[in-house]
Amino acid sequence: MPKGATDVRPDTTLRVRAVGGSLSSVTVTPQKGKAVEGSLDGPQWTSSGFLSPTTTYELSATGRNDAGATQTATSTFTTLTPRLTATYRVLPDGETVGVGMPAMVVFDSPVTTPAQRAAVERQVSIVTTPQQEGAWGWSNNSQLLWRPQTFWKPGTKVSVNAPLTGLQTGDGKWVGRNAAATFTVGRARISTVDLKRHKMTVTEAGKVVKTYPISGGQSTYKYITRSGTKVITEKLAHLTMDAATLGVAKSDPGYYKLDVNYAMRVTNTGEFLHSAPWSVWAQGRSNVSHGCTNMGPADAREMFRESLVGDVVHFTGSNRPMRPGDGMDAWVYSWKNWRARSALTATQA
């Protein structure tokens, strides 16, 4: 690399080689931050990892020439300034969650190519205590999830490291910072909603702790509550449910706008568990909702109080299955099919 080089790609591998002598040390240091890691093998030093965008580095190499004299050479170079800076979050962070909540690396814009997604995946790591078998997989081009083969063991401590600075995620788009997260898994609370029997059964550590009468989605297909494994991803004490957010015109006979309490989101498509005092007459008897799981006010309040984000809710009894994109995708796939969602699997095939 010539002295004073500019627009150096952050994923460039640096190599420093002694000609007619030997190297004793090489340092590559940014204006701020840690020196670039690398290894010295005989006459050559090779960097590992990535550089930061929009950063000037000083390279210093010390060695001995054939005459035995020590010499030090220095130079500087500057990495390119991205047209776009890729940003992302590692979630959950600092929380206690239910046994169904995967670790997530969530980008604010797509990671464009399979090779770029594979590069991201090579950089991320996870430590679970106690150790559990699990796998990374992409639910879509902007979400990388790690799930255990089965649900988390209660009390698990999870640490996720995602040092992605210097990775390219699109045309002219590079990551400019690192992120990490830790979280704890709480008790094993798993509920089952039986849409045919209009009942929800709640278990903890495999033992039934509560049953609630419920009312699910009515028989019109677009309102049928989906069957499958869902996860509580959001808890809202108060929520205005507006069908317009789901593409329903206000002139449509099926349009609704309702204020609800104790809302617990279980899909991305608008399904919640929530209080529904207007349908108490149907709870335990028939399905009359627009797809949500209606509960009585006192029951919903209790469920809301006792639930964690990440708690699992199985739904049975409808002919409308969960599909990828409907909710927490990590549990939509079988274990075999989830492992196939890894970008590394795709690039190695």
Dist. CA 76–CA 243, nearest whole Å: 58
HSE-up of residue 276 (Cα within 13 Å, Cβ side): 27
Dist. CA 320–CA 102, nearest whole Å: 24
Inter-residue contact 121 to 144 (CB < 8 Å): yes
Annotate 285-306 with DSSP letters as a single string: T---BSSSEEE-HHHHHHHHHH
Question: Which residue among 198, 238, 274, 290 is the active-site one?
Answer: 274
Active site (annotated) includes residue 274? yes
Tell me which DSSP letter residue 346 carries: H
Peptide bond into 92 cis (omega under 30): yes
Active site (annotated) includes residue 238? no
Question: Which residue among 198, 238, 292, 314 is the active-site one?
Answer: 292
Three-class secondary structure assignment of 125-168: EEEEECCCCEEEEEEECCEEEEEECCCCCCCCEEEEEECCCCCE
Backbone angles phi and psi of 292, in degrees to 5: -75, 170
Dist. CA 267–CA 263, nearest whole Å: 12
Three-class DSSP category at 223: helix
Dist. CA 21–CA 26, nearest whole Å: 14
Q: List all residues 6 or more positions away from 297 whose beta carbon is below 8 Å from its beta carbon.
A: 261, 262, 275, 277
Neighbours of 277 (CB within 10 A): 13
Inter-residue contact 122 to 344 (CB < 8 Å): yes
Catalytic residue IDs? 274, 292
